[in-house]
Amino acid sequence: MARIPRRKIHGALVGSTVSLLQSIERAVLRPLVMRLHGKIERGKLLQYNLAYEGSPGDIFVVTYPKSGTTWLQMIVYQLTSDGAMDFAHIDHVSPHLEETLMPRGRHISDLSGTPRVVKSHHHYRDIPKGPGKYIYGVRNGLDVAVSYYHHARTYFPGWKNRPLNEFFETFMKGHIPYGSWFAHVSGWLRNEDRLNVLIVHYEELSADLETGVRRIADFCGITIDPADLPRILERCSFAFMREHEQKFALEGRRPPPPAKTTPFIRQGKVGGWQQDLDPRLVGEFQKACDERLRGSGDDRFRVLSARDAWQGGPTAPVPASSSARELDAAADDAPRVPLGSAG
Ligand code: PPS
């Protein structure tokens, strides 16, 4: 029988040890490190939130990304000031909690403006809680997904030339900054801690900006001087905000992305998804909507899905079925990556 050279045996042993160690790294160490990282991040968040001494005057503008956050920031700014456009970026008048304040160790109590207005994309469980006012903006999930895709193409490394279908699947899995849209929306609409939340639909603002603005003003305890109304409506219009794009786009507060193909104030349409998404994906989304958002049998989630159009009327908090709650808790563990670093 021919002898196998020792070098070969040695080589084979080293090879299999390396691949065993790689498998252990992939299957055990990496997930462990990620989980540990997640726990540290949660600890930091908890610490930050515990330091928050809420004030009834505080206003939080909260959304899942691409749901009309900037529009709401502009509405609140126009309502709470003389509306001058002398700010360099909207972030200077209502800073982004997790991208501008937290990383610099700045607290809401460090803000000097009155009222203190903060933007956040936090899930319900992560938001600093207090007696302030929380304006939660929601938008039909299909329009959110398409808008997020354009955002990803511009701001996320590696997405410039990837197709919408691929992004949509990633969106459905919640493997993007801020995780699952379904978990985000249902957590906020459920409002289990009974925060002072006003739900504002993107579709509602789009159908009748004046009524939407008045509803937000009422919620914030602001009386609109009739002389100011034309200015507020004009400055919150799509055309005006597009004209001042640099005061709203992400690159207003960081270097411009190399792959900017689409304006930040992009299209501003309701139902734009109908031109872009193929029916199979819409079907998947609708099924998930039925399971995750309508699990309670409550129709107030309807406007967010593919089938239904905006019917008008305010949205009240919604109880969820226990299965919807479990799904949300699982999705809530999605990595929290800043929208800016990834996009
Ligand atoms: S971000 O990056 O999460 O803060 O983005 P966000 O501001 O939430 O959402 C961006 C979308 O909002 C649209 N937008 C408007 N629509 C109508 N009227 C006005 N005034 C307005 N301002 C912003 C913006 O165009 C993005 O939607 P899409 O569908 O991409 O156009």
My answer on whether 122 and 7 are in the same domain is no
My answer on whether 253 and 279 are in the same domain is yes
Identify the band that residue 92 occupies on the pLDDT scale cut at 50, 70 and 90: very high
Q: How many degrees, rounded to 5, is the angle at CA 250 between CA 174 and CA 131?
A: 70
My answer on whether 84 and 201 are in the same domain is yes
Q: Which protein residue's CA is at the shortest distance from atom 3 of ligand 1?
A: 65
Question: In whole angstroms, what is the distance from residue 202 CA to residue 236 CA?
Answer: 13
**Alpha helices (H) in the chain, listed in sequence order:** 6-24, 30-50, 69-80, 141-155, 164-173, 181-190, 202-207, 209-219, 229-235, 238-243, 273-276, 279-292, 322-332
Tokens found for residue 88: 């360099």
Classify residue 341: in a domain, yes or no. Answer: no
Classify residue 342: in a domain, yes or no. Answer: no
What is the whole-number distance in angstroms between the Cα of residue 67 and the centre of ligand 1?
Answer: 7
Q: Is 236 in the pocket of ligand 1 (CB under 6 A)?
A: yes
Q: Is 63 in the pocket of ligand 1 (CB under 6 A)?
A: yes
My answer on whether 126 and 11 are in the same domain is no
Q: Which protein residue's CA is at the shortest distance from atom 18 of ligand 1?
A: 238
What is the total count of domains within the chain? 2
My answer on whether 11 and 107 are in the same domain is no
My answer on whether 7 and 81 are in the same domain is no
pTM: 0.86
Residue range 175-225, pLDDT digits in tens:
999 999 999 998 998 899 999 999 999 999 999 999 999 999 999 999 999
My answer on whether 213 and 304 are in the same domain is yes
- For residue 147, the ligand 1 atom closest to its alpha carbon is 30
My answer on whether 32 and 104 are in the same domain is no
Given a contact cutoff of 8 angstroms between Cβ atoms, the answer to whether 201 and 138 are in contact is yes
Classify residue 339: in a domain, yes or no. Answer: no
Q: Is 343 in the pocket of ligand 1 (CB under 6 A)?
A: no
The residues with which 222 forms a beta bridge, in sequence order, are none
My answer on whether 211 and 322 are in the same domain is yes
My answer on whether 30 and 116 are in the same domain is no
Question: In whole angstroms, what is the distance from residue 285 CA to residue 169 CA?
Answer: 10
Q: Looking at this protein, which amino acid is placed at residue 314?
A: P
My answer on whether 180 and 261 are in the same domain is yes
Q: Which domain holds residue 35?
A: 1-50
Chain centre distance of CA 195: 19
My answer on whether 121 and 30 are in the same domain is no
Contacts of 49 (CB under 8 A, 6+ apart): 126, 127, 128, 129
pLDDT at 335: 46
What is the whole-number distance in angstroms between the Cα of residue 265 and the centre of ligand 1?
Answer: 5
pLDDT at 157: 85
The residue-averaged pLDDT of 227-252 equals: 94
User: Within 10 Å of residue 195's Cβ, how many Cβ atoms?
Assistant: 20
